[in-house]
């Protein structure tokens, strides 16, 4: 199993918000699950914390935003601007 950090778009009672979660994948790369709560960053020291933040920032910049649809995640497609 592998994992990475992903931005997930949430919508609750017509309120939209984004958060970073850990997302997990099967051996074949199929999305398998994600953390219920957004990630809270910490570390054993400053460098450890910065390493985790840098990893999350890299993943979140490189990978598309996901959107929660009940028990599944799909790639978020923002509405077209006019």
Blockwise average pLDDT, block size 10, the chain, 82 residues:
94 92 94 95 96 97 92 80 52
In a domain, 61, yes or no: yes
pLDDT of residue 81: 56
In a domain, 68, yes or no: yes
pLDDT of residue 80: 62
What's the structural domain count of the chain? 1
- Taking the CA atoms of residue 44, residue 9, residue 60 and residue 2 in that order, the dihedral angle to the nearest 10 degrees is 70
Quote the domain boundaries for residue 11. 2-75
pLDDT of residue 58: 97
pLDDT of residue 10: 92
Strands 66-69 and 31-34: unpaired
């Amino acid at each position: 199993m592998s994992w990475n950090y992903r931005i997930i778009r949430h919508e609750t009672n017509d309120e939209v918000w984004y958060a970073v979660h850990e997302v997990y994948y099967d051996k074949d790369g199929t999305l398998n699950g994600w953390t219920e709560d957004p990630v809270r960053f910490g570390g054993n020291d400053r460098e450890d914390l910065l390493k985790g933040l840098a990893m999350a920032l890299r993943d979140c910049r490189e990978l598309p935003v996901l959107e929660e649809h009940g028990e599944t995640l799909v790639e978020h497609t923002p509405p077209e601007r006019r």
